[in-house]
Amino acid sequence: MKLHGYFRSSAAWRVRIALALKGLDYDQVFVHLRHGDQRVPAFLKVNPQGLVPALEVEDGEILTQSLAICEYLEEVYPQPPLLLGSALERARIRAFAYAIACEIHPVQNLRVLNRIKALGQDEADVRAWAQETIATGFDACEALLDGQAGPYCFGAQVTLADVFLVPQMANARRFGVELRWPRLRDVEAACQSHPAFDTTRPDRQPDAE
């Protein structure tokens, strides 16, 4: 398999974590988002959405969207599972991942922040936009874990929820968000000592700056 990614893309990091959890080997192709590599014709042939990650699988077929890639990996390589328990429990794990993937990340990603800047907002306003987006989203995430046992989001095993939380926590730090959510902080700490999270960190990638 071949992963088209960028060290700092939190969506690409999710896929690196999922691949590591499943114990899968892959090659990396680096798409420099700040240099605009995602908008060149050669990459648009890989992913017409102009986004990373994209994962090349069997016969050169290419999968896009980090959530779809994770669900694919879960179907094809079910062990160890990213989704656990009853349909209800699996829905809670997915809802937590989507609360990050659909409510936080799309509204604070580079593309949106550049558009906010283009509206005439200065750096401080753009940073405040990202901070508010993350804080509102993490308030909801902390509430979604109410009553759930640790050390991970949903108990003793890593799930899709943790795969999505840790990269978003890193984004929060990067934007200077005060991390006032004790449960989310505890989960992040538990994940940080797990090799699937540690070895896939942005600063450990070959394209890290």
C-alpha 27/C-alpha 7 separation (Å) is: 14
Nearer to its own copies, 71 or 207 (CB): 71
Query: Applying CB under 8 A, which of residues 25, 27, 146, 203 lies at the interface with its own copies?
Result: 146
Segment 47-76, which members bind its own copies (CB under 8 A)?
Answer: 48-51, 57-58, 61, 63-65, 67-69, 71-72, 75-76
Q: Is residue 116 a contact residue for its own copies (CB under 8 A)?
A: yes
* 80, 125, 180, 198: residue in contact with its own copies (rule CB under 8 A): 125
DSSP the chain: -EEEE-TT-HHHHHHHHHHHHTT---EEEE--GGGTGGGSHHHHHH-TT--S-EEE-GGG-EEESHHHHHHHHHHHS-SS-SS-SSHHHHHHHHHHHHIIIIIIHHHHSHHHHHHHHHTT--HHHHHHHHHHHHHHHHHHHHHHTTT--SSBTTBSS--HHHHHHHHHHHHHHHTT-----HHHHHHHHHHHTSHHHHTT-GGGSTT--
The answer to whether 24 contacts its own copies (rule: CB under 8 A) is: no
Cβ proximity to its own copies, 91 vs 192, nearer residue: 91
By beta-carbon proximity to its own copies, the closer residue of 26 and 98 is: 98
Binding pattern for the stretch 164-203 against its own copies, x by CB under 8 A and - elsewhere = ----------------------------------------
> Is 147 or 195 the residue whose CB approaches its own copies more closely?
147
Q: Which residues bind its own copies (CB under 8 A)?
A: 48-51, 57-58, 61, 63-65, 67-69, 71-72, 75-76, 87-88, 90-92, 94-95, 98-99, 101-103, 105-107, 112, 115-116, 119, 121, 125, 129, 132, 139-140, 143-144, 146
